[in-house]
Amino acid sequence: MNDVHDQATRGRPSTDSGAPEALAKTGAARPYVGRSLHRREDEALLTGAGRYADDLPVPPGTLVAYVLRSPHPHALIRSIDSAAALDLPGVSAVITGQDIAKLSDPFLVAVKEPIPQWSLAVERVRYVGEPVAVIVASDRYVAEDAAELVEIDYEPLPVVIDPLAAVGPDAVLVHEAVGTNELSRRDFVYGDPDAAFASADRIVRLDVEFPRHSYTPMECFVVVAEYRRAEKSYDVLANFQGPFSAHPVMARALRIPGSKLRLRTPPDSGGSFGVKLSVFPFIVLMGLAARIVGRPVKWVEDRLEHLLAASTGPNRFTKVEAAVKADGEITGLRLDQLEDYGAFLRAPMPGPLYRMHGALTGAYSIRNLAVANRIVLTNKAPAALNRGFGGPQIYLALERIVQRIGVELGMDPLDVMRRNLIPAGSFPYRTAAGALYDSGDYPRALEIATGEGRLEDLRRRRDEARAQGRLYGIGYAAVVEPGMSNMGYLSTLLPLAARERSGPKNGAVSMATVNIDPLGAVSVTADTPAQGQGHITVLSQIVADQLGLTPDEITVNLEIDTQKDQWSIASGNYSCRFSPGTAVAAHLAAQKIRDKLARIGAKQLNVLPEDVELSGGKVRSRSNPDNALAFGRVAGTAHWSPIMLPEDVEPGLRETAVWSPPELEPPTSGDGINTSLTYGFVFDMCGIEVDPVTFQVRIDRYVSMHDAGALLNPMIAEGQIHGAFVQGVATALYEEFLYDEGGGFQTGTFADYVIPTVCEVPKLEIIHMESPSPFTPLGAKGLGEGNCMSVPVCVANAIADALGVTDVRLPVTPRRIHEMLMGAEPEVGAGDAS
Amino acid sequence: MKPRSFDYHRPKTIAEAVEALAQHGDDARILAGGQSLIPMLNFRLLEPVALIDIRHVPELDHIRLDGDMLEVGAAVTQNRLLAWPDLARHVPLLAVAMPWVGHFQTRNRGTVCGSIAHADPSSEIPLSLAMLEGEVVLQSPRGRRVLKASEFQTGMLSTARDSDEMIVAARFPTTFTGKAAFREVARRHGDYAIVAVGALRLPGGEALVGIGGASDRPVVRRFRLDGGDLGAELDALAWELETYEDLHASPRMRRDLVRRLAPTVISELRS
Amino acid sequence: MIEQKPKQRVTLTLNGRKVTGDAEPRLLLTDFIRHTLGATGTHVGCEHGVCGCCTVLIDGVASRSCLAFAVQMDGATIETVESLADDEGRMNALQEAFRRHHALQCGFCTAGILMSFTDFLRRKPDPTREEVVDILGGHLCRCTGYTNIVDAVMDVVEGHAPQRDIGAA
Ligand code: FES
Ligand code: FES
């Protein structure tokens, strides 16, 4: 049951949320869900009335913190002399690792290895930008003055930057106590890969390297921390995004029960893309600073700090081998993945290496798979969440090898894809590594995307360009996009015996609450701090549908207060868990409260609860629509007149729903793991041209086909796709965190870390089809990350095609194109040999 | 990212500005548009004791034709000059080069002379000034002196300005009215160029070609538009340049950009 | 220089109102607008002039407020995003077009972009799409992918947007 449409023909125009009430009266089961309602968030944001963390008032007496960071990639801290800084008027404290080590413990890590990390460096620094001291002062200007007066005596140590060197012989050790930089290695075998390789007609091999980069939100980190001495508790406001699995990590570090760490999030957040998980060490640090100085402390990260060491996706080196038949069938796959997490393994790392585990074979029915997952540490900033989370890394390997198979077999890579796609009609489909793909029709998606002359047009463009001697190539990428991670996936990191000792981990608990006040006003809270994705709008659509109201009548507040609100470790705004997770919880909470209202209304309308419906602001009898009461009146009963309630109905109107889908099981004894609940599909194709004069790559045409199940708000969905697409282009052609061999950081400003502007961005053509997920009541899947996974490799494939090269190192900058294009330089006076 | 402390002066006349500068010498900086200076202050890369804000000196806020020269005062913003209606007629090179300077938003505040003072080897305005053999007018308590562009810009971010001198104007010859073309390669639109190439058609079938971003200061050469072996001459020029390494390009890539980009810009003069 | 300098009185017109505050010479205009004057609609994304989040109109022209000092603004007229809606809080045509075209997600970059186009469209009410792209090129947005922003501005330019003035010059 697929519903296909593209931008032009989609029959659901965007509308205002103050849409005609008539819609609610049509009796459609979902008058609002699925429609392109304009966002309820926008008016405040457009008029300068947003409330971002740095806009909110702070308690009187709040001091300002500045984080002093290491200029060395690896060094012993011999001494820190703060005397001159403390003499400066306005300076309250200079806090060092020694101070915080007395009051806190190192953060919990996912592997049992001695790699302690506190919120400040203790005794030794291991990357450029590692926090070494906190200066607390009356204002930021003074704090920065004081920072220049702190004298730190470092003893520089040898460094290791390259992950391959780090696992090589005689490598410098990032953590001596571990005895190696290769922190963990796990080998997985599914099916019989050895047999597949032994009987292959050909073995195709490729090494790929995925770069370090980050989708750097425009707003940096903000923390305001207070310590309540009487309660021995911390009260912190931060633009944290989750996952709230970091909350116990913070509480443990602070040596307090979780209930004593009150973490609140602001109403608005200036983007995150995974990055704002990494504010968590600073939540701890500023809490400690507030405790030490006895005053509230505010810290606003600046852009230099952010680029230097806020967060990065991990870089990954992958050796991939495919066993193929002469007709292009891939019978076996071997992956050796070496992922570089920088100097520490911070929770919830090594997520990117395991999040995609069930889906390692992507969109293909490859049954024999061998995987080595290796974690390496180097003297670079610690890696963490970044949109796509492991997807861009695996698809760079998988889709590049598909292109190489095409080249080596003399086949069109598109035919290699077609030969190996999971066949239609096989869903739910269990992959070799244990993912349970919920729904889809991949061959049809390819057919649609390449149809209507689109593929012919790309080929015509390539032929024409090549006939003129221009460098033009076509790339493809097929991506399975997971939504709502199984909290159990990370335990795949542990061998079976260790998993059994620690007990099963699985699921992905989502929560939302619907509340109705005595006059019938509806409000909603949920476990997702929003960062611009329009969650307020979508939740109001969902709840409005269940209660027979308009979205404007639903107030949604997504600020989170961990002392008062519903949350679980899975809470947060990450890994595409909104549509398959929180949205469902809100839907279920609204249903619960709807059923309660129906029971209350039934008594007053003198009908059976089954006969009651909520629509058009009324609670009415289905069989006799004139028999109706105003919504507010029925709701009021639960507050004002408990005596009028049916016997089994509790007073009050507040329902929390918890959504925990049964498909998210713990890893099996054979290391099979259903890493996510929903699996969308993306197929991209593009034509690019390499300019031999400027060495720049121009994306000529880009088509992206999406199947994300039912779309809750198509306008917002396309906004997510556009945003992810441009980020994917950034990864393909522009952005990379670079270190020199000595560990110095080279991309510390927006002049060096090059984020594309509108001038660098090509037009994107989006096509949708909808294969609703059978595993979620709304049929929706995640869709915000797919293009971060597909675009880098799609562009890389096109460049490989254009230049006839095997190795395409991302981002493909003019400098790299130049290296690929240019042979030996002509001798002086020999003219241009090209 | 907050600057260190400094004293702020807001002179009303050139004399006041020069006096303030003389007082502090090397420890003072002229603040005009601030689009290059203030980022460096925010990064704490500079430590001026005083900033002398010349935006409010009416004497410096002029665009005027003076004989064979277009004189642009030190307070004139880049966008003001770009919007000057007669620019394309009098200095066609500036009309094609200046849209490449930063962005609309930075040109709104950034000044023409500020860009010249900053002397970035890849900047468009110093490159244009060098190609046209324009002049920089400097004022100090000792008086006024006028330097040729080639005398003024002495290297990467360095100039012949004495510490008690301020730029009061730049003078662009209006005698180069042939067709002009300009192109650059940068990572992004509006970024500092990796290599920038300007070209001007001269009478008698010659082209004046300026290269920015390839070495420590702009380089200007004359080529025959037809006849000569342009490829060989550009190759020789490429070898002559002391091209440098940075994040975005190797020395070799800069040479290759000169070899490849210059012919396309020059060819625009022929059409 | 570590010694702090005395504060100076700065009086300027912010969104049509005369306001006064005290500022050390080194106080950035962004900090003055946001924290001294309390107009937090203007955002800070880089403090080195690249992102455009901080764009405001200084004496009518769109400028990076992170690349200016508060003391420079004595006597100046500054317009920020807070000035765009009318006295009843109704959004202007440009703001409405942004909403209709889903031209913002997190909204952090949006104020600066609105201010750039407020200046630009006053100077040039009928730009081409290429010119609009060129002006938007002075801003970074991490969320939207830009296309919807260009569409929103073109909607105003082409007059499809409901004709409420986008602000008199
Ligand atoms: S904050 Fe001013 S341009 Fe980024
Ligand atoms: S809307 Fe988030 S940065 Fe532009």
pLDDT in tens, A595-607: 999 999 999 999 9
Which tops the pLDDT comparison, C162 or B216? B216
Chains in contact with A, where contact requires at least 3 CB pairs less than 8 Å apart: B, C
Nearest residue by C-alpha to atom 2 in ligand 2 = C106
> Quick one: tokens of A132?
């070494």
Pairing of strands B28-31, B50-53: parallel
Per the CB < 8 Å rule, is A814 touching B231? no
The total number of residues written for chain B in this structure: 271
Instruction: Give the whole-angstrom CA distance, residue A473 versus residue A794.
Output: 11
Nearest residue by C-alpha to atom 4 in ligand 2 = C141
* Out of C3, C49, C72, closest to residue B106 by CB: C49
Closest residue of B to A300, CA-based?
B1
> Quick one: tokens of A330?
């891939």
Range A73-107 burial, b when 16+ CB lie within 10 A, else e: bbbebeebebeebeebebbbbbbbbebbbebbebb
Element containing residue A330 per DSSP (H, E)? strand A330-340
* Out of B229, B235, B250, closest to residue A815 by CB: B250
CA distances from C138 to A720, B49, B103, B190 (A): 22, 31, 5, 8
pLDDT band at A783 (very low <50, low <70, confident <90, very high): very high
**pLDDT tens digits, residue range B39-70?**
999 999 999 999 999 999 999 999 999 999 99
What residues flank ligand 1, with Cβ below 6 Å?
A: C 44-47, 49-54, 64, 66
DSSP secondary structure of A540-575? HHHHHHHHT--GGGEEEE---BTTTS---TT-SS-T
Distance from CA of B13 to the nearest CA of A (A): 31
Ligand located closest to C45 CA:
1
Each residue's pLDDT, cut to its tens digit, for chain C (169 residues) gives 578 899 999 999 999 999 999 999 999 999 999 999 999 999 999 999 999 999 999 999 999 999 999 999 999 999 999 999 999 999 999 999 999 999 999 999 999 999 999 999 999 999 999 999 999 999 999 999 999 999 999 999 998 655 444 443 3
pLDDT number for residue A15: 54
Supply the Cα-derived Rg of chain A in whole angstroms: 28
pLDDT number for residue C159: 85
pLDDT for residue A5 is more than 80: no
Our mutation pick for probing the ligand 1 site, out of C33, C66, C80, counting the most ligand atoms within 8 A of Cβ, is C66
pLDDT for residue A18 is more than 80: no
Instruction: Give the whole-angstrom CA distance, residue A817 versus residue A834.
Output: 14
Range A400-410 burial, b when 16+ CB lie within 10 A, else e: bbbbbbbbbbe
**pLDDT tens digits, residue range B121-180?**
999 999 999 999 999 999 999 999 999 999 999 999 999 999 999 999 999 999 999 999
Per the CB < 8 Å rule, is C64 touching B105? yes
What's the gap in Å between C37 CA and the centre of ligand 2?
24
Chains in contact with B, where contact requires at least 3 CB pairs less than 8 Å apart: A, C
Per the CB < 8 Å rule, is A54 touching C95? no
* Residues of B with Cβ-Cβ distance to C66 under 8 angstroms: 38, 42
* Residues of B with Cβ-Cβ distance to C47 under 8 angstroms: 1, 42
- CA-C64 nearest atom, ligand 1: 2
Name the fold adopted by C8-83: Ubiquitin-like (UB roll) (3.10.20)
Q: Is B55 on the interface with A (CB under 8 A)?
A: no
The conformation of residue C86, written as its DSSP 8-state character, comes to: -
* Out of A304, A747, A829, closest to residue B1 by CB: A304
Per the CB < 8 Å rule, is A89 touching C139? no
Our mutation pick for probing the ligand 1 site, out of C47, C63, C140, counting the most ligand atoms within 8 A of Cβ, is C47
Per the CB < 8 Å rule, is A757 touching C40? no
What's the gap in Å between A507 CA and the centre of ligand 2?
32
> Quick one: tokens of A816?
């790299």
pLDDT band at A831 (very low <50, low <70, confident <90, very high): very low
- Percentage of residues in chain A with pLDDT exceeding 90? 94
Which tops the pLDDT comparison, B231 or C167? B231
CA distances from C87 to C13, C82, C83, C90, C167 (A): 17, 11, 9, 7, 12
Residue the block writes with tokens 């001038």: A759
- Percentage of residues in chain A with pLDDT exceeding 70? 96
* Residues of C with Cβ-Cβ distance to B51 under 8 angstroms: 25, 69
pLDDT number for residue C161: 55
* B60-173 against B180-270: fold identical: no
pLDDT number for residue A9: 34
The total number of residues written for chain C in this structure: 169
Per the CB < 8 Å rule, is C71 touching B43? no
Which tops the pLDDT comparison, B229 or A218? A218
Q: Is the CB of C60 under 6 A from ligand 2?
A: no
Q: A2-11, A646-655, B15-24, C110-119: which range is least confident on average?
A: A2-11
Closest residue of B to C76, CA-based?
B56
Q: Where are the domains of chain C?
A: 8-83, 93-157
pLDDT number for residue C167: 42
**pLDDT tens digits, residue range A312-334?**
999 999 999 999 999 999 999 99
pLDDT number for residue B26: 86
Chains A and B form CB pairs within 8 A to the count of 90
The conformation of residue A421, written as its DSSP 8-state character, comes to: B
In sequence order, the 6+-apart residues with CB closer than 8 A to the CB of A615 are: A24, A25, A27, A548
What's the gap in Å between A763 CA and the centre of ligand 2?
18
Per the CB < 8 Å rule, is B249 touching A747? no
pLDDT number for residue A828: 64
Q: Is the CB of A46 under 6 A from ligand 2?
A: no
Q: Lay out the sheet containing B219-224: strands in order across.
A: B180-185, B195-202, B206-212, B219-224
pLDDT for residue A834 is more than 80: no
The CATH architecture one would assign to domain C93-157 is Orthogonal Bundle (1.10)
The SS3 assignment for A233 reads strand
What's the gap in Å between B170 CA and the centre of ligand 1?
29
**pLDDT tens digits, residue range A344-371?**
999 999 999 999 999 999 999 999 999 9
Alpha helices in A660-785 (DSSP H): 714-733
The conformation of residue A221, written as its DSSP 8-state character, comes to: -
pLDDT number for residue B56: 96
Name the fold adopted by B180-270: Enolase-like; domain 1 (3.30.390)
Our mutation pick for probing the ligand 2 site, out of A216, A218, A306, A531, counting the most ligand atoms within 8 A of Cβ, is A218
Q: Is the CB of A723 under 6 A from ligand 2?
A: no
Ligand located closest to A219 CA:
2
Distance from CA of B235 to the nearest CA of A (A): 5
pLDDT number for residue B77: 98
pLDDT number for residue A6: 43
For chain A, give the mean pLDDT: 95
DSSP secondary structure of A57-98? ---TT-EEEEEEE-S-SSEEEEEEE-HHHHHSTTEEEEEEHH
pLDDT band at A824 (very low <50, low <70, confident <90, very high): confident
Domain B60-173 sits in CATH 3.30.465.10: yes
pLDDT for residue A338 is more than 80: yes
Q: Where are the domains of chain B?
A: 7-53, 60-173, 180-270
Closest residue of C to A55, CA-based?
C40
Q: Is C34 on the interface with A (CB under 8 A)?
A: yes
Closest residue of A to B196, CA-based?
A694
* Neighbour count for residue A113 (Cβ, 10 Å): 17
A439 CA to centre of own chain: 22
Q: What is the largest CA-CA distance in chain B?
A: 59
- CA-A750 nearest atom, ligand 1: 4
Asked whether the beta carbons of A732 and A795 are under 8 A apart, the reply is yes
Model's pTM, two decimal places?
A: 0.96
Instruction: Give the whole-angstrom CA distance, residue C113 versus residue B268.
Output: 34
Supply the CATH classification number for the domain B7-53. 3.30.43.10
Q: A460-469, A483-492, A793-802: which range is least confident on average?
A: A483-492
Asked whether the beta carbons of A550 and A615 are under 8 A apart, the reply is no
Our mutation pick for probing the ligand 2 site, out of C95, C104, C146, C148, counting the most ligand atoms within 8 A of Cβ, is C104
> Quick one: tokens of A748?
């510390």
* Out of B1, B5, B105, closest to residue C55 by CB: B105
